[in-house]
Structure 1
Amino acid sequence: VLRVNGDFLAQERTRGATLKPISACCDIPELGDPEPLRECSNPKLSGPCNDVQCVFEKSGFLTDKQSLNKEAYRAHLRKWLEGHKEWSDAIEKAIKDCVDRDL
């Protein structure tokens, strides 16, 4: 028999996220350019995706607030790949499955 304390669950929900970014735990190089990352991270923007939206806007990866500039982002990923050859399969899959498709 499983017994759950409702107050405990409410406390857990209001405590906020405690997860570290994946890059803090794994050796994953940053995909973005340092300047937009710095500008959009300090202070961290509120909301679940506002920091990513900011980085994409400042990097020229959007044609408007909701549309990816596919050519610019594809070119950025391939340029990044020149210094990170070991990520070739993952980047090419991301381009094929995410950038080149209309999601």
Structure 2
Amino acid sequence: MQVKHLIVFALAGIVLLLGFNMINGSRHEQNIAVAVNNDLPEQSTDAAVNEPDISSNQSVDVASKPLGEQPKAIIDNVTTQIDRAQQVDKERLEQMDSAQ
């Protein structure tokens, strides 16, 4: 194969990859927009009503802290979220056990 053929194939591959990246990026942005628009709180279960919305005020709390305390604040927020998720899971298991 001649060098000019390799160059043509390489350029064609680069163009195809760039096109794929642009299409995939626009889909990703559309998916994010749809997810943001559909971010309504569910009130179908008691557990969903009891859970506070921690996503909106947690980012403000972390951003307002000094840079030296932000990693600790992030870890504290994640630990709190994990604890709440475990509590909700425990409550659901108790509800399932009491229903049987």
Relative to the length of structure 1, the TM-score reads: 0.28
Higher helix residue share: 2
Task: Tell me which structure has the larger Cα radius of gyration.
Answer: 2
Higher strand residue share: 1
